[in-house]
């Protein structure tokens, strides 16, 4: 689909007008979908507990961008003028939390190594559900087994191009170089969560995994 990129540049927040608002307010955690719950647990488990007031910022963004991760302050930007509904919001939060998770668990050179960015974009597109809804439709209508991978690759390339001033061939090359290992890295989900039911299973498994570790 020729949709505008979902992303804005990590680290681009400084200098723009900040409209600090709270995400959700009361009942924040109760209303969260299973993807977000799992990622928040995983962040906490990795020593990067997310604070909804400090780590989220709601702002008006340019173009059709719906979110971003500002690695310099570990803050997720939610574009209040472009997020259409709660389902869209959940997807954006999930996508950006995957970047935050990668930022927490590894030393990611977001700006100096395009392959690092490519890897995180592949993971975010693969695991956030960005491609899963379309995937269902395509599977039903066309039986294209490869559609999910194609969608992940395309979205990752588009996300890179939205935040880096590089040409398409460079972005494609970076994505292709990291694709196999990063597409198969399902942490912290342990599987590709194609829908909320899978995400709930993944969350349950993650909690159990946590339990076993803490008993050692
Ligand atoms: Zn992204």
Q: How far does residue 138's CA lie from ligand 1's centre (Å)?
A: 23
Return the higher-pLDDT residue of 68 and 7: 68
* Phi, psi for 78 (deg, rounded to 5): -110, 125
Q: How far does residue 8's CA lie from ligand 1's centre (Å)?
A: 8
**For 75-124, how does the pLDDT look when each residue is reduced to its tens digit (9 = 90+)?**
999 999 999 999 889 999 999 999 999 999 988 999 999 999 999 999 99
**For 29-50, how does the pLDDT look when each residue is reduced to its tens digit (9 = 90+)?**
556 799 999 999 999 999 999 9
DSSP string, 153-207: HHHHHHHHHHHS---HHHHHHHHHHHHHHHHT--TTTTS---SHHHHHHHHHHHH
CA-based radius of gyration for the chain = 17
For the chain, what is the mean pLDDT? 83
Those residues whose C-beta lies under 8 Å from the C-beta of residue 93, and which sit 6 or more positions away, are 23, 36, 67, 76, 78
CB 68 within 8 A of CB 102: no
3, 16, 59, 96: the catalytic one is 96
pLDDT higher than 90, residue 170: yes
pLDDT higher than 80, residue 71: yes
Q: What is the pLDDT of residue 53?
A: 92
Q: What angle do CA 99, 69, 9 make, to 5 degrees?
A: 115
Please report, rounded to a whole number, the percentage of residues in the chain having pLDDT higher than 90: 61
Q: Is 96 a catalytic residue?
A: yes
pLDDT higher than 90, residue 136: no
pLDDT higher than 70, residue 56: yes
Instruction: Give, as one character, the DSSP assignment of residue 77.
Output: E
Return the higher-pLDDT residue of 58 and 143: 58
Q: How large is the average pLDDT for residues 178-192?
A: 96
* Cα–Cα distance measured from residue 118 to residue 140, given in angstroms and rounded to the nearest whole number: 29
Q: How far does residue 175's CA lie from ligand 1's centre (Å)?
A: 13
Q: How far does residue 211's CA lie from ligand 1's centre (Å)?
A: 30
Tokens of 148: 């999910």
Q: What is the pLDDT of residue 16?
A: 28
Q: How far does residue 212's CA lie from ligand 1's centre (Å)?
A: 32
């Amino acid at each position: 689909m020729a949709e505008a990129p979902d992303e804005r540049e990590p680290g681009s927040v400084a200098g723009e007008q900040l409209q600090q608002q709270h995400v959700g307010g009361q009942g924040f955690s109760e209303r969260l979908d299973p993807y977000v719950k799992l990622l928040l647990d995983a962040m906490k488990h990795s020593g990067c507990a997310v604070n909804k007031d400090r780590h989220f910022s709601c702002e008006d963004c340019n173009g059709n961008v719906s979110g971003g991760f500002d690695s310099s302050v570990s803050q997720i930007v939610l574009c209040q003028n472009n997020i259409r509904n709660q389902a869209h919001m959940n997807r954006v939060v999930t996508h950006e939390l995957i970047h935050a998770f990668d930022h927490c668990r590894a030393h990611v050179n977001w700006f100096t190594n395009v392959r690092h960015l490519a890897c995180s974009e592949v993971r975010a597109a693969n695991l956030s559900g960005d491609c899963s809804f379309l995937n269902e439709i395509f599977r039903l209508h066309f039986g294209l087994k490869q559609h999910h991978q194609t969608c992940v690759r395309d979205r990752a390339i588009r996300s890179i191009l939205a935040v880096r001033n590089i040409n398409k061939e460079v972005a494609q090359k970076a994505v292709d170089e990291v694709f196999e290992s990063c597409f198969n890295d399902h942490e912290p989900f342990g599987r590709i969560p194609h829908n909320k039911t899978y995400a709930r299973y993944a969350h349950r498994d993650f909690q159990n995994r946590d339990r076993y570790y803490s008993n050692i």
